Amino acid sequence: MKKIEVVAAVILNDNQILCVQRPEHKLDYISKKFEFPGGKIEIGESQKEALARELFEELDMNAIVDEHILTVEHKYPDFELTMHAFWVHANSRELSLNEHISLQWLDKDKLNEVDWAAADIPIVDKLMAMEWMTL
């Protein structure tokens, strides 16, 4: 089974978290699902470098990647995913959707109101369990 290593950003602005929606995909279990933005780590990149690059490519965002939140191991039917999630603080909500079809800025207690990709759910669960003051 194919194994993929990726990074994901939990982007905060004004105490809300950015959630982006994937486009339609041939794999129905990820098609149009919400996720935290990010992507694959390229050869020679650190996790933080990869995330900063991906955020620029996907959202035209110049990001400063902060601390690691958690790493998720998830098995989809067609591939295995290792996803490293990091905090990112956004100074602006001015973003471009270069790869996603929509975005939402949600309060922490509203995160479970969107249809998440399965691999992102452990991140959502951890965020929802955190004390608000830690955000």
- pLDDT tens figures, 69-103: 999 999 999 999 999 999 998 888 999 999 999 99
C-alpha distances (whole Å) from 63 to each of 18, 89, 106, 128 are: 13, 8, 19, 23
Give, in degrees to the nearest 5, the angle at Cα 21 between 5 and 134. Answer: 70
- Give me the chain's average pLDDT, please: 94
Instruction: Provide the residue ranges of all domains of the chain, joining segments of one domain with +.
Output: 2-134
**CATH no. for 2-134:** 3.90.79.10
pLDDT of residue 130: 87
